[in-house]
């Protein structure tokens, strides 16, 4: 599972890094060191033959949903069953995306402690992580735009899979992190070969990831700032 992550890299830098068009000014987001489900997040996707960086709702809302609240239960999608689940098989075939993150949090059980230990995981070189994701468009029947068309909600989910050895010490799942040489294939709207696409959903190399203990302040979504990702004493030692 991936339930919290960090989005701190400026959007113009993210757009350049992923070779995408930057979002318009009204779509810009504030730096967020404690991104939580259902919040707006940056997403890289292809539309009209152009790679774009834009703002999406975190929590996939299927096109057939009657209520967008269903997205709160779809922040993650298991990579092993994408082609089987009604909510995911269509976007897996047609609407794949990359969700940039500076790092992500997981909570580790500590023997003899009631509190879990929050851990922060990021790339050893400090570059953004490229989470594999899916996106969808939901049309709101209760709200229309200036032309009388149903308002659109762009939403996404982060794909998870088996952990690498380093992450396995903390949690039994991790986000699928795509290497740069897989981005073109993953984002290609004309590629519907889900069998070959599924082969990209493998654990990132352990040596790519660095892990450190951080403060339990991250447990509260209202806490937000760079201090959340700083090294902190383990639970029970502070």
The sign of the torsion formed by the CA atoms of 122, 43, 11, 55 equals: negative
Cα 149–153–154 angle (5° rounding)? 130
Q: Which of 25, 26, 84, 106 is catalytic?
A: 106
Nearest alpha-carbon partner for 130 in 56, 182, 76? 182
Indicate the DSSP class of residue 147: T
Residue 46 belongs to what H/E stretch?
A: strand 40-47
Asked about 106 being catalytic, the answer comes back as: yes
How far, in Å, CA of 206 to CA of 36, rounded?
Answer: 25
How far, in Å, CA of 236 to CA of 84, rounded?
Answer: 43
How far, in Å, CA of 79 to CA of 37, rounded?
Answer: 19
Q: Which of 2, 97, 136, 156 is catalytic?
A: 2
Taking 3-state DSSP, the helix, strand and coil percentages for the chain, each rounded to the nearest 5, stand at: 25, 35, 40
How far, in Å, CA of 12 to CA of 128, rounded?
Answer: 13
How far, in Å, CA of 17 to CA of 154, rounded?
Answer: 22
How far, in Å, CA of 118 to CA of 3, rounded?
Answer: 12
Asked about 2 being catalytic, the answer comes back as: yes
Antiparallel, parallel or unpaired: β 50-58 and 209-213:
unpaired
**Residues designated catalytic:** 2, 106
């Amino acid at each position: 599972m991936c339930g919290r992550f960090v989005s701190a890299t400026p959007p113009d830098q993210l757009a350049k890094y992923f070779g995408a068009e930057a979002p318009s000014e009204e779509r810009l987001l504030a730096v967020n060191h404690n991104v939580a489900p259902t919040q707006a997040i940056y997403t890289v996707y292809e539309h009209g033959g152009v790679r774009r960086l834009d703002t999406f709702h975190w929590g996939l809302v299927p096109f057939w949903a009657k209520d967008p609240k269903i997205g709160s239960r779809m922040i993650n999608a298991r990579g092993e069953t994408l082609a089987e689940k009604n909510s995911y098989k269509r976007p897996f075939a047609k609407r794949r995306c990359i969700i940039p993150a500076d790092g992500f949090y997981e909570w580790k059980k500590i023997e003899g402690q009631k509190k879990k230990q929050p851990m922060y995981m990021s790339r050893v070189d400090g570059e953004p992580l490229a989470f594999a994701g899916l996106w969808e468009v939901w049309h709101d029947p209760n709200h229309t735009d200036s032309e009388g068309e149903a308002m659109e909600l762009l939403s996404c989910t982060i794909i998870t899979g088996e952990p690498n050895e380093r992450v396995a010490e903390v949690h039994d799942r991790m986000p699928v992190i795509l290497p740069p040489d897989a981005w073109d294939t993953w984002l290609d709207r004309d590629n519907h070969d889900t069998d070959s696409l599924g082969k990209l959903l493998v654990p990132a190399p352990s040596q790519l990831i660095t892990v450190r203990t951080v403060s339990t302040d991250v447990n509260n979504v209202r806490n937000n700032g760079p201090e959340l990702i700083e090294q902190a004493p383990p639970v029970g030692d502070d």
